Amino acid sequence: WFETPCPDQITLEFTTSLQRALAARGVHTGKITGEMDRATREAVRRYQSESGLDSEILSLAASRKLGLLPYEIERVPK
């Protein structure tokens, strides 16, 4: 079980940024299409497997690590 980005966050722009971020890290060798195609899913699996997650479904943690989504800031009560 792992958290994933909300479906409404997976836009054409998000997926394009994901592909570019994965390409910059040497795990995406396909075209930058903005589509969650087979090459992108395989690249997601390769990238996440480095952290011990063997899945082609993009995790929230990987999205944040790639700089695609902000980290949650834990608020300390006053």
CA distance 22 to 1: 23
pLDDT digits (tens, 9 = 90+) for 23-38: 999 999 999 999 999 9
Of 18, 21, 29, the residue nearest 57 (C-alpha): 18
CA distance 75 to 31: 40
CA distance 46 to 43: 5
Q: Which residue has the higher pLDDT, 73 or 40?
A: 40
Alpha-carbon distances, residue 13 vs 19, 34, 50, 74, 76 (angstroms): 10, 7, 25, 28, 34
pLDDT digits (tens, 9 = 90+) for 53-76: 999 999 999 999 999 988 877 766
Confidence (pLDDT) at 75: 66
Confidence (pLDDT) at 1: 84
Name the residue with tokens 């834990």.
74
pTM (2 d.p.)? 0.87
